[in-house]
Amino acid sequence: MADPVTIFDTTLRDGEQAPGFSLRVPEKLQLARLLDELGVDVIEAGFPIASEADAESVRVISSDLKRPVVAALARCRPEDVQRAGEALQPAERRRIHTFIATSDLHLDRKLKITREQCLEAAVAAVAQCRQYTDDVQFSAEDATRTDMDFLCHVVESVIKAGATTVNLPDTVGYSTPDEIYEFFHTILNRVPNADKAIFSAHCHDDLGLAVANTLAALRAGARQVECTINGIGERAGNASLEEIVMATRVRADRLPFQTGITTEKIFATSQLLTALTGEPVQANKAIVGRNAFAHEAGIHQDGMLKDRRTYEIMRPEDVGVPATTLVLGKHSGRHAVQHRVQQLGLELSRLELDRLYRRMVALADQQKTVTDAELVQIVTDLRAQPEASPATPGMHRQGPGTEEVGYGHGV
C-alpha cells in the first residue's frame, strides 16, 4: 500500500524570493487559491518579518483559504516568531516554520554563534511557536553539511520542545541521491524520538539533483516534500512539484507514495505562475514545458500515431495539457504530414503528398517549424501548379518498418 506524502508548497515564499519572481498580494492570493484547488497540503504563504507586504499576504491567504495548512516562515528569533504568529491569526489551520542554520560554516561565518547558542535558540523558538499553534515545523538550514552528531542532538531537542515536523534541507543543492538516502536513514535511526515527528526534505537544484534527492529522501523515510511550481526558487531553484508528483504516479512500482494532488490542474497552475511573473518555463522542462508532449522527429511521430505509449510515458491530459503536439519541422516524416493534412480536412494523392512533403521540409529548413496555415497554403500553391514532379531521392525513407517515417533519431 502506498504511503501518504505531505506536499508542502513554497512557491509563494522560497519561489517568490528568486530574482524576477516577486508577486503582489492580490497575485499571491490568486495563485494560493489555485494551489488549494491543486490539492497541496501546506502553502507557505510568506516570511512576515521580511516586509509588511509579506505579512499582509500571509494574513490575506490565512483569511481566505480553509482546507490547506497555511505556513509562515520565521527565524529562530522572538520578533520573527511573534510576527508570524500574528499574521497567521485568521487561519483555520496554521503552521509556524522556524529555522536556524546548523552547519559550522554558517554558524562561524554567517551567524557568528556557537553550537550551544544555536541549540538554545532553536529550542526557545520552537517553544515560542507552540504558544501560537500546535503545528510547528523546525528547519536546520544547511543540514546536509552539518556535523551528524550535532544535527541529531538538535533534532532530538526540537522534537522534545514541541516540533511536529522536522525539515532537513539540502540548502545549497550539494548532495547526491545516495548521500541523501544515507543522511535521512541515519537520522531517523539515530534520533530516539524521531517517531514523534514527520521528517521533511527541502532540496535545491544547484547540481540538477533536487527532484532525485527528494525522491531518495522519501525512500529513506521522509514523509513531507517541500517543492515549488515550475521548480522556481533561490539560485537554480527548488525541487519541482510537478516532477515529484508525476514520478510517484508514473513509477508507483518503484516509488509507492501517494499525494493528494489533482494532477489535471498542474498545467493550469504552471501557466498562471508564468502569467503572473512574466517568467517563461524552459521549452524542455519536464511535465509543463511546451515540448514535454511535442514530437518532431519522424520516427517518434510515426510511433506516436501508431501507439502513443511508444514515446510518451504519461498522457498529456493527466497533467492538464490539452493534447500531444506533432510539430512539423525538417525532421518530420510523411506519416505526420499526412495525418496533419487529414486533420485539416484535405485529401491528397500520393503524388501531392510527395510534393507537399518536399516543400514542407524545404520551408522548415528556413524557419524551423511549419504552421497549419502554411501547410494549407503549400497545398493551394501545389494545386495551382499541377505539373508532376518526381520525388527527390533521399527526402524520405521507404523500407521494411520505416514506411512514411522520415528522418529524425529514435533515441
CATH number at residue 225: 3.20.20.70
- Same domain (yes/no): 103, 48: yes
- Same domain (yes/no): 30, 65: yes
Give residue 392's Cα distance to chain centre.
46
- Residue 368: pLDDT band by 50, 70, 90 thresholds? confident
Range of 370's domain?
294-384
- Residue 70: pLDDT band by 50, 70, 90 thresholds? very high
- Same domain (yes/no): 105, 227: yes
Is the torsion defined by CA of 305, 310, 316, 317 positive or negative? Answer: positive
Q: Is the pLDDT of residue 402 over 80?
A: no
Interhelix angle for 241-250 vs 266-277, to 10°? 170
Q: Which has more pLDDT, 351 or 209?
A: 209
- Same domain (yes/no): 20, 51: yes
First-to-final CA distance of the chain: 35
pLDDT for the residue numbered 207: 98
396 assigned to some structural domain: no
398 assigned to some structural domain: no
- Same domain (yes/no): 208, 62: yes
pLDDT for the residue numbered 141: 98
Radius of gyration of the chain (CA): 26
pLDDT for the residue numbered 409: 46
- Residue 396: pLDDT band by 50, 70, 90 thresholds? very low
289-306: pLDDT as tens digits: 999 999 988 899 889 999
- Residue 235: pLDDT band by 50, 70, 90 thresholds? very high
Q: Is the pLDDT of residue 403 over 80?
A: no
Q: Is the pLDDT of residue 400 over 80?
A: no
- Same domain (yes/no): 225, 373: no
- Same domain (yes/no): 143, 207: yes
- What CA–CA distance (Å, rounded) separates 215 from 194? 20
pLDDT for the residue numbered 214: 98
Q: How many domains does the chain have?
A: 2
Q: Which has more pLDDT, 376 or 30?
A: 30
pTM value is 0.88
- Same domain (yes/no): 237, 299: no
- Same domain (yes/no): 264, 324: no
Element (H, E) at 70: strand 69-75
166-215: pLDDT as tens digits: 999 999 999 999 999 999 999 999 999 999 999 999 999 999 999 999 99
Average pLDDT over residues 369-391: 79
